[in-house]
Amino acid sequence: MKRQGTLRSVLRRIGRYRYLVFISFALSAVVVALTLYAPYLAGEAIDQIAVTGFTMEALSPILVRLMLCVALTALLQWVMNAINNRVTFQVVRDLRQEALRKIGSLPLAYIDSHPHGELVSRVITDADQFADGLLMGFTQLFAGIITILGTLAILFARNWQIALVVVLVTPLSLFVARFIATKTHDMFVQQSRTRGEMTAYIDEMIGNAKVVKAYGRESQSLHEFDDINDRLGKIGMRATFFSSLTNPSTRFVNSMVYAGVALTGALSVLRGGMTVGLLTSFLSYANQYTKPFNEISGVVTELQNAIACAARLLELIHEPSQTPEPSNAVELKDVKGSVTLENVDFSYTPEKALIQNFNLSVQPGQRVAIVGPTGCGKTTLINLLMRFYDVDAGSVRVEGHDVRQTTRRSLRGAYGMVLQETWLKAGTIRENIAMGKPEATEEEIIAAAKASHAHSFIRRLPQGYDTVIGEDGGMLSQGQKQLLCITRVMLCLPPMLILDEATSSIDTRTELKIQSAFARMMEGRTSFIVAHRLSTIRNADVILVMRDGHIVEQGDHESLLAQNGFYAELYYAAQ
């Protein structure tokens, strides 16, 4: 996303809190006015001492006004900072909520093609970096601009010669700040991207720590991490180095402004054109005038980083959502299990064809087994049935309705899935089992657990069904996690089932028991069974043998063996 577009998007979101922003700006203007009034009072006190000497009677009114000015400035500054914090974190909260909603509506193709850690980095790290830059902008940018304008107005009103000196030197400071800011923006964008790459890599390594250790790839993983870390260090060092040039450069220019004011004012005092107190006030104004340039230079650096981080977050938010459901989408009810695929073409990438001209007709209650070598399209077929992906051509129909014309909720509610890869959330055992049926009673949950043979190990856990497990099952074994996923489906018992290597991590003895439970569960329900162990699908009504996205053979176990074709080759190779 271009910088101008990012700024517009950010300002549009800040505009939701325009009333708070207006109050903040008004308070900022009052704080600046009080800050500029204080040097005037100090100069008045010095002139009073020069005329009458040091007498508390003469100075008291001035000192009282000065103390009230300082106290009121501190109070209003605190209120303004509180408002700025509120606006900043509400804007960042809104962005994070938008990002999370977007992740929920993104097509799976996007999620599958982007590292999960990189998405996490955008929502968490980039949002935090954006908050820091936005807060600094609110706190210092507007107040700095008001201070500069107010100081110039006072200087021109009291002594236009000194004001002219200030104005002539100022453009140099602005030129330096703009030049450096332009150069550092691309560096901060690159830094933010590399930081996301590092987060993604760390997430991958931690999530697959067992695989890394099993294959002895610790040193190679460390080497790859060091490479990313070195690149991040170099990019970060360059961005920080060039951005850090802004402050000393503007300070040098500001010192020239102060020296110019001091010299011009001193000559004016010698000529009798101004008092010593007024010169003191002017020197304070020179400091107040130059101070915002130092602060703004720092703000510009932070804003460059913030804009780069906001661009990555907004890029995620503006990603196209999954295809919306039509206004007249059909709500599937009383599903019997009739599924038809007609002339289906599909590929994950246009340049690599996968499924072509695929046809399949499944009658209610049929058990359909899908077998074939790795990469032939078995899991892809499941993705199309569930409409995790849309077909490129042809149609997938359930009960005669094209799945693209039905609601996703009713379609997916008609399926029960048990996959080889388990998914459990952080929570109790009971919450994980009842995920698809939150209103389930205790008796129903226990009955489902007994049917899946999970009840015995759940009962041995410290708090039984109330035992809290971590994300992805925590310390449960892979087999126990899979039993919980099977229990979850048995509790709901939808009209259609998808079993993708559902017993791959379960011991043989338990598998035999679960197979009998599956047999009872599949009675009268359309079932799609993906299996690598062909011995587990002998009782399937129809076995689809897939190769390169096509059905090359079709029939039951005995008839396929009799054909002595590809299925027979796969079957005897596994014996």
Q: 279 φ, ψ to 5°?
A: -60, -40
Condensed to tens digits (0 to 9), the pLDDT of residues 136-149 reads 776 677 777 777 77
3-state DSSP assignment of residue 267: helix
For residue 239, count other CB atoms closer than 10 A to its CB.
24
* Cβ 280 vs Cβ 27: under 8 Å: no
Tell the residue number behind the tokens 């126990």, with chain if given: 480
More confident residue, 2 or 394: 394
Task: Identify the band that residue 324 occupies on the pLDDT scale cut at 50, 70 and 90.
Answer: confident
pLDDT above 70 covers a percentage of the chain that reads: 82
Please tell me the distance from the alpha carbon of residue 20 to that of residue 80, in angstroms, as a whole number: 10
Angle between the 18-52 and 276-317 helix axes, to the nearest 10 degrees? 170
Nearest Cα neighbor of 65 from 86, 42, 84, 82 is 42
Q: Is the pTM of this model over 0.85?
A: no
Give residue-wise pLDDT tens across range 87-118: 888 888 888 888 888 888 888 888 888 777 77
Range 464-467, long-range pairs (CB < 8 A, 24+ positions): 464/429, 465/428, 465/429, 465/430, 465/433, 466/428, 466/429, 466/430, 467/428, 467/429
Token digits of residue 173: 């400071």
Straight-line distance from the first to the last Cα atom of the chain, in angstroms, rounded to the nearest whole number: 56
In order of start, what are the domains of the chain with their CATH numbers? 3-317 (1.20.1560.10), 339-573 (3.40.50.300)
Q: Is the pLDDT of residue 74 over 80?
A: yes
SS3 label, residue 523: coil
- Inform me whether the pLDDT recorded for 278 exceeds 80: no
Query: What are the C-alpha distances in Å from 33 to residues 80, 245, 294, 297?
Result: 14, 31, 20, 22
Confidence of residue 178 (pLDDT cuts 50, 70, 90): low
Q: Which residues contact 318 (CB under 8 A, 6 or more apart)?
A: 1
* Beta pairing class for 468-469 and 427-428: antiparallel
User: Which pLDDT band, with edges at 50, 70 and 90, does 348 fall under?
Assistant: confident
pLDDT of residue 409: 87
Q: What is the pLDDT of residues 528-575, one digit of tens each?
A: 888 766 666 777 888 888 887 777 888 888 888 888 888 788 777 766
For the chain, what percentages of helix, strand and coil (3-state, to nearest 5) are there?
Answer: 70, 10, 20
State how far the alpha carbon of 254 is from the alpha carbons of 148, 261, 265, 267, 289, in Å: 12, 11, 16, 20, 9
Strands 415-418 and 496-500, bridge-based pairing: parallel
- Looking only at the bridges linking them, the beta strands covering 542-547 and 355-362 are unpaired
Averaged confidence pLDDT in the chain: 79
At 310, the amino acid letter reads A
Q: Is the pLDDT of residue 175 over 60?
A: yes
152 Cβ neighbours under 8 A, 6+ residues apart: 163, 166, 167, 289
- When mean pLDDT is compared across 1-5, 236-240, 418-422, 497-501, the lowest value belongs to 1-5
